[in-house]
């Protein structure tokens, strides 16, 4: 049932809006001033009208300013006034019709306010503007034609507002009530800045972000054109929503669809994607958007990194694994017959949109596999987070949206810190290499399965985590109890926790052969991430091969 917000009630400022101003945008006649006054009274905030403030500062009317200085100088002065108003205490501020068109003004609003677009149809605007002589943009030409042209230009930009409320021929009180309802329901997505020496970008986490993709991505796109790379499965589930979200802000799109599965993460698929990008006549300002899991993200990212020596790139991960791991950090690569991720590039995205709503479409097996990378973050360097995982892991894989968002955020916070300290994995010890905890074993298992989906990446990592801890215990670095705690938690989540659970005949020598082809090998020596306990990972390149062989055999491998 929709909450009734009768205008006689006092409504405290919702927690999500605390400390933030509310900005109303829309064309002339949308009712920004009348709605703004009522909204401010409801929330106990001061109200200001940007046009009125400009007139007070200039000592003349808006039409006179237009006549004397032209629209360019007027917009510059308008921007200064708005910046001053939004730099103070929270208020409700009504914008002039063109104010939100300025990119600098929109950036100010994103930082300090919640923006509400009062979207009106042409007929309503015409009736409300009829007979008014204070609309300089309507002074010349047929008002209907002028308004239609303004709608075509401005509505795609207004769509970047945080909240959209459709307005029709109703009383201002009724519209204010609907604006209040929309604000009460609004929740800001979580934003995590990833700060690197070369660049920075945000990981945005929240529900239903695909529907607002245009609003969220437009500030990061140098051109309102994008090529969406996705796979056949994800295209049926999420591509229409993403395209609608981009279309609302006027982003023109084309799509490249690859077959689902690890087999698409290949040199042949990379060449096909690059060829299709070139056939689409992309420019260096055309954005490549990866919509899908880790395979699509790595493939599209590598194609973006290499086409025209680099195209703008955005990650829209749709699996838990890709939301907490592959989409963050800028590693892009494809597999070869010699091993996993051996051909690729470090290439950072402009933004990562992690829409938790997409997780509801995942098969339970894939959701559980993605969880392995979440637990890994705690095991590497945050014992308290691993304890949180033990308490909340079942809720995460069970579909609890709040638990999922918290897990994604905390895992990404950890990874962002590690990547920020060692973007290109250049530190010989520790640094970004720590993120490979469990991966030397996991990648060997994936290679043995042939990257055909028989073993998911997260499942390989899950087994690898237990093996890494058991190897650490055998070498005297951590307590055996720590290793058993890891194996028990992985098993409790429903993932394979030991080699015996894979129900496959494995050879220790064959797995070691895969490990020797791993990209982390240095001077021919195997490199492992080991641990001194929960949250105390470290790198080691002096692990005796005999110890690894013995472990694998004890875990059920043949010679």
- Report the distance separating Cα 92 and Cα 113, nearest Å: 9
Q: Of 373, 423, 446, 448, which residue is the catalytic one?
A: 373
Q: Of 32, 42, 415, 470, which residue is the catalytic one?
A: 415
Q: Of 154, 212, 436, 514, which residue is the catalytic one?
A: 436
* Phi, psi values for residue 208, rounded to 5°: 60, 40
Output 255-259 pairs: Cβ under 8 A, ≥24 positions apart: 255/227, 255/228, 255/229, 255/230, 256/227, 256/228, 256/229, 256/230, 257/230, 257/231, 257/232, 258/229, 258/230, 258/231, 258/232, 258/296, 258/299, 259/231, 259/232
- Report the distance separating Cα 180 and Cα 318, nearest Å: 32
Strand pairing report for 351-355 and 313-317: parallel
Output 420-424 pairs: Cβ under 8 A, ≥24 positions apart: 420/194, 420/195, 420/196, 423/196, 423/197, 423/198, 423/329, 423/330, 423/346, 424/346
Active-site residue, 432 included = yes
Q: 40 is written with which tokens?
A: 């401010």
Active-site residue, 331 included = yes
- Report the distance separating Cα 261 and Cα 249, nearest Å: 32
- What's the DSSP call for residue 261? S
Q: Of 32, 128, 225, 331, which residue is the catalytic one?
A: 331
Active-site residue, 514 included = no
Neighbours of 76 (CB within 10 A): 12
- Cβ atoms of 429 and 538 within 8 Å: the answer is yes
Q: Of 38, 42, 128, 439, which residue is the catalytic one?
A: 439
Q: 152 is written with which tokens?
A: 């075509």
- Most distant CA pair in the chain, distance: 91
- Report the distance separating Cα 498 and Cα 132, nearest Å: 76
Q: Of 154, 225, 410, 443, which residue is the catalytic one?
A: 443
For 96, how many CA atoms within 13 A lie in the half-sphere containing its CB? Answer: 25
- What's the DSSP call for residue 46? -
Active-site residue, 436 included = yes
Strand pairing report for 331-336 and 528-531: unpaired
- What residues contact residue 398 under an 8 Å CB cut-off, 6+ apart? none
Active-site residue, 83 included = no
- Report the distance separating Cα 185 and Cα 208, nearest Å: 13
* Residue of 463, 461, 452, 441 whose CA lies nearest to 514: 441
Active-site residue, 38 included = no
Residue identified by tokens 């796979």 is: 231
- Report the distance separating Cα 340 and Cα 265, nearest Å: 9
- Cβ atoms of 118 and 26 within 8 Å: the answer is yes
Q: Of 432, 470, 520, 527, which residue is the catalytic one?
A: 432
User: What's the angle, vertex CA 84, arms to CA 195 and CA 118, rounded to 5?
Assistant: 85
- Cβ atoms of 24 and 35 within 8 Å: the answer is yes
Q: Of 425, 446, 448, 459, which residue is the catalytic one?
A: 425
Q: 321 is written with which tokens?
A: 């694994």
User: What's the angle, vertex CA 64, arms to CA 58 and CA 67, rounded to 5?
Assistant: 120
- Cβ atoms of 347 and 313 within 8 Å: the answer is yes
Terminal CA-CA length for the chain: 65
Active-site residue, 224 included = no
Q: Of 48, 154, 457, 514, which residue is the catalytic one?
A: 457
Active-site residue, 443 included = yes
* Residue of 26, 242, 245, 244 whose CA lies nearest to 155: 26
* Residues marked as catalytic: 309, 331, 373, 415, 425, 432, 436, 439, 443, 457
């Amino acid at each position: 049932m929709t909450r009734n917000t009768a205008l006689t009630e006092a409504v405290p400022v919702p927690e999500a809006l605390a400390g933030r101003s509310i900005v109303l945008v829309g064309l002339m006649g949308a009712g920004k001033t009348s709605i703004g006054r009522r909204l401010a009274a409801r929330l106990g905030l001061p109200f200001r009208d940007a046009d009125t403030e400009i007139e007070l500062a200039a000592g003349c009317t808006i039409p006179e300013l237009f006549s004397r200085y032209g629209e360019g100088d007027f917009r510059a002065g308008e921007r200064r006034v708005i910046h001053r108003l939004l730099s103070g205490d929270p208020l409700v501020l009504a914008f002039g019709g063109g104010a939100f068109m300025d990119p600098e003004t929109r950036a100010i609003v994103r930082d300090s306010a919640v923006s509400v677009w009062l979207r009106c149809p042409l007929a309503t605007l015409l009736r409300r503007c009829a007979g008014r002589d204070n609309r300089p943009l309507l002074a010349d030409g047929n008002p209907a034609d002028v308004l239609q042209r303004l709608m075509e230009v401005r509505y795609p930009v207004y769509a970047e507002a945080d909240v959209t409320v459709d307005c029709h021929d109703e009383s201002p009180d009724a519209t204010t009530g609907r604006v209040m309802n929309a604000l009460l329901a609004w929740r800001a997505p979580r934003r995590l800045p990833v700060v690197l020496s070369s660049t920075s970008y945000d990981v945005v986490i929240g529900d239903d972000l695909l529907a607002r993709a245009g609003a969220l991505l437009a500030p990061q796109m140098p051109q309102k054109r994008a090529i969406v790379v996705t796979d056949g499965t994800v295209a049926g589930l999420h591509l229409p929503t993403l395209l609608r979200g981009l279309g609302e802000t006027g982003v023109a799109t084309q799509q490249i669809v690859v077959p689902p599965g690890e087999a698409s993460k290949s040199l042949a698929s990379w060449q096909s994607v690059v060829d299709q990008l070139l056939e689409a006549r992309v420019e260096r300002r055309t954005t490549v958007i990866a919509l899908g899991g880790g395979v699509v993200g790595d493939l599209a990212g590598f194609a973006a990194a290499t086409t025209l020596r680099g195209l703008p790139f955005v990650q829209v991960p749709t699996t838990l694994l890709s939301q907490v791991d592959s989409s963050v950090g800028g590693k892009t690569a494809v597999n070869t017959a010699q091993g996993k991720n051996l051909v690729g590039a470090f290439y950072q995205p402009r933004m990562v949109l992690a829409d938790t709503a997409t997780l509801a479409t995942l098969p339970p097996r894939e959701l559980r596999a993605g969880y392995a990378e979440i637990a890994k973050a705690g095991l590497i360097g945050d014992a308290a987070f691993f304890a949180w995982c033990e308490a909340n892991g079942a809720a995460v894989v069970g579909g609890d949206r709040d638990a999922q968002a918290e897990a994604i955020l905390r895992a990404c916070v950890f990874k962002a810190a590690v990547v920020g300290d060692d973007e290109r994995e250049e530190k010989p010890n520790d640094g970004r290499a720590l993120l490979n905890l469990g991966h030397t074993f996991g990648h060997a298992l994936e290679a043995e399965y042939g990257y055909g989906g028989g073993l998911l990446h997260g499942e390989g990592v899950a087994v690898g985590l237990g093996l890494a801890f058991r190897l650490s215990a055998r070498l005297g670095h951590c307590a055996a109890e720590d290793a058993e705690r890891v194996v028990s938690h992985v098993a409790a989540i429903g993932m394979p926790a030991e080699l015996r659970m894979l129900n496959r005949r494995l050879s220790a020598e064959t797995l070691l052969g895969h490990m020797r082809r791993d990209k982390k090998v240095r001077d021919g020596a195997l490199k492992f991430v080991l641990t001194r306990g929960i949250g105390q990972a470290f790198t080691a390149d002096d692990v005796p091969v005999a110890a690894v062989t013995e472990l694998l055999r004890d875990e059920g491998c043949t010679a």
